[in-house]
Structure 1
Amino acid sequence: MTPARKRILVGIVWLVPIVGVVWWATKQEAPTLPSDFGGIMALVGALALYTVATLMRAERWERILRRAGVKAKRADAYALTPIGYMGNNVLPARGGELLRTFLLGSRVPDSTKRTILGTILAERVLDAIALGIILVVLASNLLSELPPPNSTVILIGVVLAVLLLIATAVALLKFRERLLFVLEALVPMAQPTKQLLSRQGVVLLVVSLAIWCVEASVYIAVGHAVNIELGLQDGLAVVAFTNAAALIPAAPGYIGTYDAAVIFAVNAVTNASRSAVLSYLILLRFVLFVPITIVGFVLLVVRYGGLSRVRAARDAAHAEQRAEHEAAAAARAEKHADTAASTA
């Protein structure tokens, strides 16, 4: 596929959910934003809770960095967390993760960019496991009521699984050398995630569950501001579903996919009017995206020198990556030469 066609395909993937949400919003009554004391205080509480959740994420990342041997200052972990959110909100393809990698790499030259990126991958693994646990707990009652699959469905599943294993084995044999090269490159990235298989990893998983409970409280508080009553179970359901939808490729700020997920999830767990749901979506967008984007941009400029510093760090990372690739290629060539000499 040519680069032009890829850009067109990405544009379509971005535009379809955006157009759908905008069309839905134009068919609803005008949203009503809270103006009474109780509604305003609910929004203030939601902002405070989201601040707590962000600080908890920063502390969790600092612990992961420390276990991975990245000698970063706690202040950098706390500052780069909102910068990462800012990048995810304004850049495509979760660009905030690369922002964190480049900027922290320039502050900790002794650590490779792949190791730092691996710590962010470990964060995502913890979040995925925590969300999976939440979804399993929420769906346990529903699963118990489903009828067992018949023998034909089981047989088809077994056949598909066997075919998938055979295809995987053939691919591994055919591309063995390339796979070994990729695995060698990914070892520094996988190391922080591997370290989660410990007692400290269990503690971090518990912290991750607590983080998602705090974020569910943010959703509940915003609902209270627009008279949408959400219990803890409802809040967790909305949080889990919307963040699962955020995995779908989307425009910066998850425009379209996130909004559609919020609308669907709130309608599924409440009987709120469409106007109230639209008001909820607007306020939730404000609480979760606007303040942290502003804070992240200010920290980027004041503490890290702005976008010019990001570009310099990115260029340094690319140069480091090229040097590593050249060294790996030279090592493979030397290994092949030694093998040929020994066989001769």
Structure 2
Amino acid sequence: MYDRIGNFLIDQRLEIDPANFAFAYHLLSDPNGALARAVASLTDGGVRLTQRDIETLGCEMKPVSGVAAAKEKADGLVAQTQMQVEGFEDMVHAMRAETEGFGRDLAASAEAITRSAGDNAVALGEVARITAEMLERVRTAESRLESVTNEASELRTKLEEARDNARRDPLTDLPNRRAFEEAFAAHSDADQPVCLAVCDVDHFKSVNDRFGHAVGDRVLKAIAESLTKTCGEHMVARYGGEEFAVLFVGVDLETAKATLDTARATVSAKNYRLRESDAPLGAVTFSAGISPSRGGEMCSTVFQRADRLLYAAKESGRNCVRVG
């Protein structure tokens, strides 16, 4: 069991700490339990678990805010998929039964034709009957196959949409934390140099307190747009709340810092106004920390280092970028 737990944590690129060890123990000690089924659903297609998944699932499988609805939707898709598979199986069994029935009819008719070889009219009539039955069965099978194929196509589209939605933030339409951590792991596996930046909106709570959450949401959208436009091909994600993350791939630390500084200056230079009254909102800025990945580090390790740099930027006056 000890070896299996170690292999699981290594395969999933999870930190080998007490909490993750306990999670792996509960998972592997009950391979048919609810936790194992949930993990199998999350990792379908070779997707690795993230630290957030571990925190969300827990060892008791208690849903947290927002997870229950997503789980219910996922369960519905799984049930629909199972029904579709069962439909295919039923169709195959029916077609097999029809084929077997046709084979018996053909054998019986062949025997009848042999017996009545002297009567061409009887023989031709029997052949015509068999042919007509065969055509009718083929048409029925084709109709059923077309119907099930259309349903499968619709289901595939729904599953693709659900998979995309599960990795996208609904407010900003940016990739979410899960998508970001998967992208980091993919680039790390490919031995590509990456720098991870963590950005946090300065004094965001005061924006919500003074103007309401609707205005706060518009501020987050504006910052998301500025980051996406400035960072170009590099991945920008909403990591949670007023926190964004940027994955710089194939560039050095100084280039990443210069790019993020441009985004920071763009955000701070913009004149934000209330849509309802055109009154000025005041300065909106963000602080950030950037750190490169070193020797196959996990996302959580690099993130924590960048997060410490972010807080150093906050303590030094905000609206700046710190690297390390």
TM-score, normalised to structure 2's length?
A: 0.23
Q: Which has the larger radius of gyration?
A: 2
Higher relative contact order (CA 8 A, sep 6+): 1
Greater strand share, 1 or 2?
Answer: 2
Greater helix share, 1 or 2?
Answer: 1
TM-score, normalised to structure 1's length?
A: 0.22
